Structure 1
């Protein structure tokens, strides 16, 4: 393999020592192998940019030479039908494995596979499959060989439970999630055909900014090219999605956490409102235990709690309050009371 003349300094107990060039080359080669995906092609230029961003100072030709040698000795496929050449692990290849994955590490990986599958880019999940498979194998072996193994039994002891009525996730069209996750991961523009809630087909080019999971649904937070407002598109309503390969600069002011805190993922417009409600103690006990907001104030009023709190003004808030039926009365603001209690307003009128 290509030898690098450059050495890297490493701090030890005795001061500064040099890392041999051969060891440096080995570390670089392992880093390169880890970045070769499974199921899709990646070019030498893309790998070179990833390595450069990670702090590896190598020229493009060095990466190209390494890839040529690696594809000759590992189960790496080189597509040389056209330039630039593409590289990927072959479908049946083992790729890189962790030979001494213990039970605790396997447990963490197995839980990550279960919970993060819908939020990690599809290519990342595919590239991690060898690790997930090894984690499952380690836990399975522990359960068979060590009856009562804590790690081996843990996956049967934990479960994420929905607080709402469970629903099956809506079907996402083939190829949509892959295209969305690749474009989001690489900061590439995305061409979409989207059917909105009114049944209208909208076509456009968007800047993918974030991916959010709300119960059983996935939403792409994006900005249509040429506009300044941010929107969320339900993935199951995207009819077609195509990664353009064209890079864009992420808006400096965008923050996905703030976008969510403002209620934008709950059909709101970023407005905050102070609510004042009366709720039956039986129905509202959980609000005494899990507050609506940091500024929540709770008072006992006979058989009710009176709760004041500042929350995002969203359609989800209206649906949630309506779910309590006659056990809740909205005192303020008036427009929220009208939305939650339309039948009472008609009687009062």
Structure 2
């Protein structure tokens, strides 16, 4: 069953078969909340499209109802001065980075921006929004010039940018929220109910690392995937697995991956 599969029903008839479970309903609220930006507005239609890109299909009225709940209980503002209504989160004080931390963050953004497709440009910019919040003047010094142009990387874009744009969001959802997935490969083979444990990059390829139903670890490049479904089934992240020590099976000529080639997209406290 796809994650957040849309349920169509009458408001007068509420049954377990045509209404989302309490857990899924709460998950939808938090998925919407984390997609509402700070300092600018987003519409219900735009949020509905972002959810659909992540494999979470909801009607526009369902999205609007849940946004009203979020406005009532969270730090979200609803601008009703004109239609379509805009939703935004308040901007709070951000930490000030040192020169070293600022350059490191700029370099990280430059690296990711160079490798990932343009369709993920907005998500990358939002993820690195801390860069925009840095002070532009310093006591006793002239205002800094150049901004993020002081960091750049000369590396190639990862293979199959269209595939990355299509599957990056649902894979991220599955990794962060520890949801199992089902894969259909371009060869026609289907891999049922596996647990994603991380993403690894090589020079020009992005790999999904997962645990199969036999509790073995395997991987495949995203370019091999034809379809991907995020399931409702939750899994416990394996405590004995170290992504930094994992060796790609799909690329046997490479030795054990170096730490700086690994991107473990899991909660930092797990």
- The equivalent of 1:17 in structure 2 is none
| Alignment coverage as a number of residue pairs | 181
- The equivalent of 1:135 in structure 2 is 131
C-alpha separation between the residues in 2 aligned to 1:191 and 1:91?
A: 35
Checking the alignment, whether the CA contact within 8 Å between 1:189 and 1:243 is kept in structure 2 is yes
- The equivalent of 2:151 in structure 1 is 158
- Structure 2 gaps, min length 5: 1-29, 37-46, 49-68, 80-84, 256-270
The question of 1:232 aligning with 2:219 is answered yes
C-alpha separation between the residues in 2 aligned to 1:95 and 1:238?
A: 39
C-alpha separation between the residues in 2 aligned to 1:211 and 1:93?
A: 31
- The equivalent of 1:70 in structure 2 is 73
* SS of the residue 2:131 aligns to: helix
Change (3 A) 1:153 1:127: closer
The question of 1:208 aligning with 2:196 is answered yes
The question of 1:249 aligning with 2:240 is answered no
Change (3 A) 1:209 1:267: same
C-alpha separation between the residues in 1 aligned to 2:245 and 2:94?
A: 41
Checking the alignment, whether the CA contact within 8 Å between 2:197 and 2:237 is kept in structure 1 is yes
* SS of the residue 1:201 aligns to: coil
1:213 is displaced (CA, Å) by 1.2
Query: Radius of gyration: which is bigger?
Result: 1
C-alpha separation between the residues in 2 aligned to 1:217 and 1:91?
A: 38
C-alpha separation between the residues in 1 aligned to 2:249 and 2:142?
A: 45
Aligned pairs (5 A) from 1:83-162: 93-98=88-93, 101=96, 104=99, 107-115=103-111, 126=123, 129=126, 132-133=128-129, 135-136=131-132, 138=134, 149=144, 152-153=145-146, 155-162=148-155
C-alpha separation between the residues in 1 aligned to 2:168 and 2:129?
A: 22
The worse-fitting range, judged by mean Cα deviation, of 98-107 and 215-224 is 98-107
* SS of the residue 1:98 aligns to: coil
C-alpha separation between the residues in 2 aligned to 1:246 and 1:114?
A: 35
Deviation by residue 1:269-308 (Cα, 9 ceiling, x = unmatched): xxxxxxxxxxxxxxxxxxxxxxxxxxxxxxxxxxxxxxxx
- The equivalent of 2:175 in structure 1 is 184
Change (3 A) 1:168 1:116: closer
Q: 1:170 aligns with which of 155, 160, 164?
A: 160
* SS of the residue 1:93 aligns to: strand
Query: Could you say what the CA RMSD is over the residues aligned between the two structures, in angstroms?
Result: 4.3
1:258 is displaced (CA, Å) by 1.6
1:92 is displaced (CA, Å) by 5.2
- The equivalent of 1:308 in structure 2 is none
* SS of the residue 2:146 aligns to: helix
- Structure 1 gaps, min length 5: 1-32, 42-65, 78-89, 269-314, 318-349
* SS of the residue 1:37 aligns to: helix
* SS of the residue 2:207 aligns to: strand
1:211 is displaced (CA, Å) by 0.5
- The equivalent of 1:286 in structure 2 is none
Deviation by residue 1:62-111 (Cα, 9 ceiling, x = unmatched): xxxx956435x63269xxxxxxxxxxxx8652543436746746555444
Checking the alignment, whether the CA contact within 8 Å between 2:110 and 2:152 is kept in structure 1 is no
Checking the alignment, whether the CA contact within 8 Å between 2:159 and 2:223 is kept in structure 1 is no
Change (3 A) 1:187 1:96: same
C-alpha separation between the residues in 1 aligned to 2:162 and 2:153?
A: 22
Change (3 A) 1:222 1:108: same
C-alpha separation between the residues in 1 aligned to 2:203 and 2:180?
A: 27
Q: Which consecutive segments of 4 or more residues in structure 1 shift more than 6 A?
A: none
The question of 1:37 aligning with 2:34 is answered yes
Checking the alignment, whether the CA contact within 8 Å between 2:209 and 2:218 is kept in structure 1 is yes
